[in-house]
Amino acid sequence: MPNITIQQMPKTVEQKRELAARITDVLVDVYKAPAETVHVWFQEVTTEDYAAGGQLVADKLAKK
């Protein structure tokens, strides 16, 4: 069974719904996996929980 984990900043339910459907479609097409065996997990973090280039994203955004 294919398991996909998406790590991202928070998104809307509609966006996650569409992404899960599209990812499932691709895995069904490429892997010939039954759709019901495709699992997609969303792990969401805030800008305070993510750093890039040694700085929290929240701090980078605050400087703009």
| pLDDT per residue as tens digits for the range 39-51 | 999 999 999 999 9
Q: In the predicted model, what is the mean pLDDT of residues 18-45?
A: 97
pLDDT > 70 in the chain, percent: 100
What DSSP string runs through 4-62?
Answer: EEEEES---HHHHHHHHHHHHHHHHHHH---GGG-EEEEEE--TTS-EETTEEHHHHHH
User: What pLDDT is recorded for position 56?
Assistant: 96
Q: What local confidence, expressed as pLDDT, does residue 64 receive?
A: 84
At residue 10, does pLDDT exceed 90?
yes
